[in-house]
Amino acid sequence: MRIVCLAGGIGGARFLRGLKAAAPDADITVIGNTGDDITLFGLRVCPDLDTVMYTLGGGINEDQGWGRAAETFTVKEELAAYGMEPQWFGLGDRDVATHIVRTQMLSAGYTLAEVTQALCARWQPGVRLIPMTNDRAETHVVVGEEHARRAIHFQEWWVRERASIPAQEFAVIGADVAQPAPGVLEAIAEADLVIFPPSNPVVSIGTILQVQGIREALNPKTVVGVSPIIGRAPVRGMADACLTAIGVETTAQAVLELYGTPLINGWLVAEEDKGVALDGVTVEAVPLLMSTPDTTRALAEATLSLALRA
Ligand code: FO1
């Protein structure tokens, strides 16, 4: 079975671990969000691609959901000793090696897709990980009151400000011209099933859907999504701050409507959200918490089962 998943960071990566367990023989292509990418100290950092690669490759810092396990921060400390900014973004020594390889290959003219393939040759994530685009498509967040609007990088908003200042708008710089990376549209066209794991619907899945042609390529496909919201709160992360910023309620119903039909055919919600409904969508209530490998696998199995009926 050929499966395509649109994935952001932690929630998507965790779900993918369960999907691999539930469908060990499936051919899984992950289209990774690159809107979070940032250049720091001259190094290109791709948080969502690295979270998928490290999580499926066995190198992730499990508690954080990002960065490497058994990490040290000597480089970070030395940069701080020189007074280098920013100091609010924690680059670990092991993680820096990934960014050096990526930056060196990009400077040599390789595309981000080629670089990602090269990094995955070491990590063997067991899926084909393709960035949504090789072009620049970086999420910036517009903040500030009416007459004092300014845009900051997504990581400044997410990490430095902890999403504590209201976002007036998310702008994916470059999305208007960014083309899908080679293989993205082909993987979608050949897919038996497309899954939206419980990634952030605004700044992860929503960003991928802004890349030219991706939403159109998905419309005719069977797409099953997993709600990232249980009750009125995100399972993890700050999807609520993102949804509020775009005027969408933090509920499983509102996120389903945000994706809408004909994009979504099946929607998995938590037991307490079983009233969720939308014409043309098969909705099913299942346990959504990915607290153990078994519950994560069970969620993936429920997703595959729903896909057969959606
Ligand atoms: N998130 C934080 O909250 N604090 C950090 O210092 C931090 C560093 C970091 C370094 C590399 C990386 O790949 C991710 C990192 N993240 C950090 C997480 C990152 O902001 C998020 O994973 C995504 O951008 C949101 O999905």
* pLDDT tens-digit series, residues 56-90: 999 999 999 999 999 999 999 999 999 999 999 99
With respect to residue 255, please indicate whether it lies within any of the assigned structural domains: yes
With respect to residue 169, please indicate whether it lies within any of the assigned structural domains: no
Q: What is the pLDDT of the chain when averaged over all its residues?
A: 97
Residue ranges around ligand 1 (CB below 6 Å): 8-9, 36, 45, 47-48, 50-51, 66-67, 89-91, 95, 155, 158-159
Closest ligand 1 atom to 92 CA = 10
pTM of the predicted model, to two decimals?
0.97
Q: How far is the CA of 91 from the centre of ligand 1 (A)?
A: 9
Q: Whose CA is nearest to atom 26 of ligand 1?
A: 9
pLDDT digits (tens, 9 = 90+) for 158-177: 999 999 999 999 999 999 99
Q: How far is CA 185 from CA 49, 106, 195, 280, in A?
A: 18, 23, 15, 24
With respect to residue 53, please indicate whether it lies within any of the assigned structural domains: no
Q: How far is the CA of 67 from the centre of ligand 1 (A)?
A: 7
Q: How many domains does the chain have?
A: 1
Task: Name the residue range of residue 231's domain.
Answer: 2-41+125-135+177-309
With respect to residue 103, please indicate whether it lies within any of the assigned structural domains: no
With respect to residue 105, please indicate whether it lies within any of the assigned structural domains: no
Asked whether residue 235 carries a pLDDT value surpassing 90, the answer given is: no
Please state the rounded mean pLDDT for residues 1-13.
96
Q: Whose CA is nearest to atom 13 of ligand 1?
A: 47
Q: What is the pLDDT of residue 309?
A: 87
Closest ligand 1 atom to 89 CA = 6
CATH number at residue 258: 3.40.50.10680
Please state the rounded mean pLDDT for residues 229-249.
93
With respect to residue 86, please indicate whether it lies within any of the assigned structural domains: no
With respect to residue 193, please indicate whether it lies within any of the assigned structural domains: yes
β-sheet bridge partners, residue 38: 45
Closest ligand 1 atom to 162 CA = 3
As to burial, measured by CB atoms within 10 angstroms (0-12 exposed, 13-18 middle, 19+ buried), residue 21 is: middle
Dihedral class, residue 92 (left if φ above 0, else alpha if ψ from -120 to 50, else beta): beta
With respect to residue 194, please indicate whether it lies within any of the assigned structural domains: yes
**Beta carbons of 141 and 218 less than 8 angstroms apart:** no
Q: CA 103, CA 115: separation in Å to the nearest integer?
A: 9
Please state the rounded mean pLDDT for residues 235-250.
92
As to burial, measured by CB atoms within 10 angstroms (0-12 exposed, 13-18 middle, 19+ buried), residue 220 is: exposed
Q: CA 149, CA 251: separation in Å to the nearest integer?
A: 28
Q: How far is the CA of 66 from the centre of ligand 1 (A)?
A: 6
Backbone φ and ψ of 308, nearest 5°: -70, -20
Q: Pinpoint the alpha helices (H) of 130-251.
A: 154-155, 184-190, 205-208, 214-218, 239-245
